[in-house]
Chains A and B, each alone.
Chain A
Amino acid sequence: MFIWKKRGRVFNPQEIKNVSWLNEFAQAPSVLVFDTFVRVYFSCRPLPDQNGQYVSYSAFVDLNRSNLFEIIRVSKEPILALGERGTFDEFGTYPTSVIRKNKEEVLAYYGGWTRCESVPFNVAIGLAISKNNGETFEKLGSGPVLSYSINEPFILSGPKIRKFNDTYYLFYIAGNKWIENDGKPEPVYKIRMTHSKDGINWTKADKDLISARIEENEAQASPDVFFHNNRYHMFFCYRYALGFRGKEKGYRIGYAVSDDLLNWTRDDSKAGIDVSEEGWDSEMISYPHVFELDGRIYMFYLGNQVGRYGFGLAELEGTL
């Protein structure tokens, strides 16, 4: 079993005052490392509308590289505008995953949210490009870069972009079922992968990567892949299909390992991180993001209510 030592909460969005689009939630942290600071992208929300419905934006916070608990700056505006009427990202841009393409460009893959009549929402994955070190991004187009297909009928979300051996790999989730649930449908989604040479044209693996463990309809999210000691390590989160908004059936962090990116062996007993006895991450932990910084391996993760109260940091003791 790995041992993650929790270091505490890094960013609580509720402490930011007077920014209407950043009222609460700091979800799905994703880092971009600079010489003196670490830029952490996250997704946040303004107050809900009169029908109780949210939109979501993506933004970033810069942390001191030598002290990740020191906030240097919060982005003044969201990094992406919501889409125009009828487009896939009209009601949200969440979550976002970033990668440096080269010295000039940073790529951001993000989930774009639309609202449907028979089910509450649908999601497809968009691409936006930054030419100013990730300060602001321009969308590749008004439509998605990864969308639905025969065996991935809806909810393509949770993108995590990686590059291994000159090939881009995008890990994401795809919905396969909506459970009726007394008129409040809930989706089931599983972890999947696609690869690309240029980051624009993708070839889907077209298979579920991670077998379900707690129940057939287990929902899986945040497939965060990290290469270390010649193996691919995936930390992700999973929950029950229904009744997941409390502690008992809510998100936990799982683990799988692979030598070829396509075949994965799940072993949650190794994950090495769980809910705390009390505090901001005592009911659920989710959306892990693992990264290496100055010789140490860290994980950002969300606590209760899937990041409503921000994200925290854990540090690996030992090795993967």
Chain B
Amino acid sequence: MKWEKLGRIFNPVEHILPNQCVEFAQSPQTLVFDDFVRIYFSTRQVDPKNGKFLSHIAFVDMDKSFKNILNISGNTVIELGKLGTFDEHGIFPINVLRDKDKILAYTCGWSRRVSVSVETSVGLAISDDNGLTFKKTGDGPILTSSPNEPFLVGDAFVRVYENTYHMWYIFGTRWVDTADEGAARVYKIGHAVSPDGINWQKEEGKQIVSDSLNADECQALPTVIFSKNRYHMFFCYREATGFRKNRQRGYRIGYAYSDDLVNWTRDDEHTGIAFSEDGWDSDMMCYPHVFSCDGKIYLLYNGNEFGRYGFGIAVLKD
């Protein structure tokens, strides 16, 4: 596989964003229209109460050359949750897809904890205005912790294949106590299926993509595309600690493939995209999103500092 980088296409600090958000445009994910592509991302507001971040969803509409910005969301796309709910402190990321006459959004909701920094679960919201705004199906999540997936269920990516909804997502396996970084989380990619997109059956604690670094490898944001009779998954992975500053330990993009949606073969050597020599994606690459548009396959992704300064795009050449 060979990806041609087209460069960074959106830098949040160059624009005015809703919800008093200033930096970060994380986990770009698309909804393709006839004449433009809507790219949702998570951006951040500083919580006036305590200086911590709140992640909000925004979007940018771009033409199909991905060179021109047509519109940026001016209003709230989806509200954060009420007091005590799973998505009270942020929604990051959001996965959007068309489903019959509706547009579904699978969200990853964040709420803060005391002994660890955060807990997450997956929510479902629905749009009836072409994705300008989304209404939640309820105050609670549709996918959350279970006996063998004890915490940090999130990063859902949903596609329908042969009348079955498939969700790839991540679940936490443990919090590692560290001397200088507090409690560090470890998470893996899992899989669930559903007849209706609402009621899900997990594989329950089954890690579907093998580790390449070590047992504490963190795997995030699976994205799947079917092409040439094979299912292709991109995701990002890193070491459990020291990943914020050290490019050797930070996020990069991995790859796995499957012929049956059950067994996945990890094959990072064929990811076909790596850090640049210098510039915005020279130290980190994360939160990939693969999609097709007018016969071409594209990969959106974040660069350095988890997308603080935006996202770029690459096109598949081969």
Contact = CB atoms under 8 A, between A and B. Distances in A.
A145 B151 contact: no
B86 interface: yes
A272 interface: no
B262 interface: no
B174 interface: yes
B114 A115 contact: yes
Interface residues of A, number: 39
A305 to B, nearest CB: 24
A148 B84 contact: no
A84 B174 contact: yes
Majority-rule SS of A interface residues = loop
A143 B139 CA distance: 21
Contacts of B137: 150
A287 interface: no
B141 A117 contact: no
A124 B119 CA distance: 13
Nearest to B113: A116
A118 B144 contact: no
Contacts of B198: 150
B214 interface: no
B140 interface: yes
The winner among B119, B137, B142, B146 for most chain A CB atoms within 10 A is: B146
Contacts of B82: 177-178
> In the complex, which range does the number of interface residues on chain B fall in?
35 or more
A117 B140 contact: no
Contacts of A151: 138-140
B102 to A, nearest CB: 16
Given A115-B113, A117-B112, 15 more contacts: A85-B183, A86-B113, A86-B151, A86-B174, A86-B185, A116-B112, A117-B89, A117-B114, A143-B145, A144-B147, A145-B146, A148-B144, A153-B85, A153-B138, A175-B84
24 contacts: A84-B175, A86-B113, A86-B115, A86-B150, A91-B115, A114-B113, A114-B114, A118-B111, A141-B147, A142-B150, A143-B149, A144-B146, A144-B147, A147-B145, A150-B137, A150-B139, A150-B142, A152-B140, A153-B85, A153-B86, A154-B86, A175-B84, A177-B82, A185-B83
Interface of A: 83-88, 90-91, 114-119, 122, 124, 127, 140-145, 147-154, 175-178, 180, 185, 187, 200
| Top 9 A-B residue pairs of the complex, sorted by shortest distance between their CB atoms | A141-B147, A143-B150, A150-B138, A153-B140, A117-B112, A115-B114, A86-B175, A153-B139, A178-B84
